[in-house]
Amino acid sequence: MTADQEPLKAPVPEHIIVEHGPNGLVLSYNWFSWTYIALAVFALFWDGFLVFWYSVASSQGAPWIMFVFPLLHVGVGVGLTYSALAGFYNKTIITVGMGRLSIQHKPLPWPGNRILQASDLIQLYSEERVTRSNNGTRLTYQLSAISGENKKIKLLSGLNSPDEVRFFEQKIEEQLGIQNRPVEGELRR
């Protein structure tokens, strides 16, 4: 590529819906992936074991410790089940227009909903996140912004491909009129 050529724009990922509505640009995507099926199956077994535990403890007249001991496991089961349900039903809707950037995760409540004034954002950038575990290494991608006060604002996280995060970055910057500039630590183009 020569110096006078502009870089190519990221293509629209298949699962992202792009619309132009009365409030501006609307980008949306469903969360569903095969990972949530595995999570749902795991949650079903986890919750099933707890139901079995409590039914046996109740029918045998077990001491109170048998009811209190697994409460942490019940909390984990609730979290797993809720996450699986969110994965099946939720979608993220990003609206860019009327001087604002709105990010909503719905219909089930989920952290990260926000409305930001466009004038408060000076740059968007993509990041790669590496998670290491016993099962290997997992890469996810995050879209962040820099505020006028030079603070980092996490906009989207857990994205599965660099194409997704770059697409969101380019479309939102384009809609907000933000000139793309390099940011230290951002995902390489």
Count CA atoms closer than 13 A to 82's CA, side-chain side.
12
What CA dihedral angle connects 173, 175, 176 and 178, to 10 degrees?
40
Is the pLDDT confidence value at 139 over 60?
yes
- The pTM of this model reads 0.86
Minimal CA–CA distance to 32: which of 168, 160, 142?
A: 160
Q: 121-134, pLDDT tens digit by residue?
A: 999 999 999 988 88
Is residue 140 a contact partner of residue 129, using CB atoms and an 8 Å limit?
yes
Mean of per-residue pLDDT scores for the chain: 92
185 pLDDT band, cuts 50/70/90, is confident
76: left (phi over 0), alpha (psi -120 to 50) or beta: alpha
**Cα→Cα distances 105→57, 110, 131, 132, 162, Å:** 39, 6, 23, 26, 21
Percent of the chain with pLDDT over 90: 79
pLDDT over 80 at 4, yes or no:
no
Q: What is the mean pLDDT of residues 70-85?
A: 97
pLDDT at 175 over 80: yes
pLDDT at 187: 84
pLDDT higher than 60, residue 1: no
